[in-house]
Chain A
Amino acid sequence: MIEFPNELEILITREFEAPIQLVFDVFTQEEHVRNTFAPFGEEMKVCSIDLRVGGDYHFVMVTDDGTEMSFRGTYLEVEPPTRSVQTWLFEGWPDAEAVETMDLHETDGVTTLAWKLAFKDQAGRDHMTKYDGLEANFDNVERYLRSLLVA
């Protein structure tokens, strides 16, 4: 489910049939992010994560027409397996700066994700709402988790 609680935020809630530690790892470990980040199967050119407060992450994907999309940020809170907060910057839109918050909790083997992107200004958020890869990323995670759990 996707919501726009105010003009600065995007909130996505998802449930995954997977244990919380695995869901946390899929969002925070390079080996997993490499397999799930690109919404339309774009090539992941860079995928580096330094998962600690003050550590940086950087993801670059290349679309099929050769455009590079670069996302980077710094971890502000790292509390495995329930929460991480990090700055979020998409380098294609200079104004689109945000703080990304991931909260997880598990009930009866189902892990609920509350993912929030809070932009500095409305222009940044409006950029992002025109971009249609937003939920595809979480669909990828859902599919990927299923493949891990079946294997």
Chain B
Amino acid sequence: MSTLPTTSTSASPQPVAGRADLRPQNISDAVIRLAGDSQDGIQSLGGFLARLAGRSAQDVMTYMTIPSTISGGPSIFQVRIGSGEVLSAGDEADFLVAFHQHSYDNHLNSLKAGGVLLYDSDNVEPNPDDKRFVNVGIAISSLTIEALGGTAKDKGKNIFVLGLLASIFNFDADKLKALIRERFGKKDASLAETALIAFHAGYNYPVADMLATRYHFEPVTNHSGRDQVTMDGNQAIAYGLIAAYPITPWTSVMEILRTELPKYGGLFVQTEDELAAVSMAIGFSYSGNLAVTGSSGPGISLKAEAIGWASMAEIPLIIVNVQRGGPSTGLPTQVEQSDLNQSIFGGHGDSPRVVLAAASVEDCFYIMVEAARIAKKYSTPVFVLSDSALSTRIEAFDEPDLKALALDLKPDLSPRPDGYKPYPLDKITQHAPPGSPMLGGKYPVLTGLEHDEMGHPTGSAKLHVQMTEKRRQKLQKLAEELPLPEVHGDAEGDTLLVGWGSTYGPIREAVNRMRERGDKVSAIHLRHVHPLPNGLDKVFAGFKRVVVVELNDEGIYGFGQLATILRARYCEPKIRSFTKTNGMTFLVKEIIDGISK
């Protein structure tokens, strides 16, 4: 948010370096942190703001913490709305809404000096000596109860605050009201009416008495001509999958698919365990469809053996890993990118598989379509890596052109000619699913044993050498068709940052800031992590050093997981590593400080 307000309660707001140089009331970027308990409905409040931004063609990104309890417990939801490109959820908040004393105590330090503290004066007593912020105390709880007739106790506070924020930020109240009706009016129109009463109470509250400044987002014109859709990373994965048209057995991706897949004639099965899930998925794929199975952390470990079979038997299969902190049960609700090695190497024997990593919520959608295409074309298991940050964060992006994306993945049951081989040494395997007549009379067996071209077991050393090569070479062939990632910034300079997965936004923003101050820094982002696209060495050649930024441990040799692989691949000593493992996404300034060392 640009320089901040003058108000009656603010003693002496510190001047803040704004992200944009704008006239006082016109802003292009704001970070709003909502802090409360999970039952306060702050996720849904944040969700409304994100949807509104999406509808207004503004960029938006959110960040949330999930309490580890089932219901209740402190939680936050941070929304960053920008009239330009929003790349991270923001290091510091411009605006903090504190519902409870603990919200105030724990999150005040995330508020920028001079920022606005909006607190529920029924529950929060701010430190009177703390003059760093603009304090706005409003009796949110009692005003909500008053508005709703005293029946709603605690419920509706979020919508009251939505109204307050709408008035402070000059949000489009009509759009918000429409969103409220859509959200609450589906089952019971009276629910929507109650919510609208809470909204109006907040919207009409004389907040000007306490906060002299109102803000207004720079209007943006829709650059692409396409509407924006707003969703989180797991939704994007689920709908991306549907766009790719597979059949699926598989926490929110699974639930969406349970409801959505039958609409397309697809099938969802909840299984007894991960072993059954991956085996069933392989059964779906074997029968000529394309299946996906997904999990996080321990679940992926359980699937490992069957994925090895899919590699050996050459079965198309998509495995989604929404990474969390590990090892073992680890940090179930926090983020880490520490499953890269597992994805690439997590099987006994040489078991080639493809590993892709989604860079953003929007990319979660497209990468699923790509995974489906690669799985079919190369008849191989394909890992798609997301993480817990990406899975819960909400972004708005241009709606996809579905017609251009859909793949035809129906089983090919056409008769196979005499001489058909499931495992030809000179071609990429394309299986004949059951139901395909074999005109030569010989039917294929798919197997995890080393096999000959017909799928029959062999102990021949020569065949094992040839088949190992065949399975490896298809990945090498895939590498040839992968595009080299674009360099963000100049093609030559001092430092090239290399990222993969959800660090895309923060790395890009770090580069932008460093370039503004004159540093010769650029970045590339890898979506295809295994195989790597060819030609990265040429990109690296333009820089004095290459720093791989990733959320995992530096390991016993001092390099993170991707850094280790890149060093092994290119034998290039200038490849360095910057990692962290505190369970949170990178702050932009952490990256800037970390690589400036």
Answer yes or no: do A and B interact: no
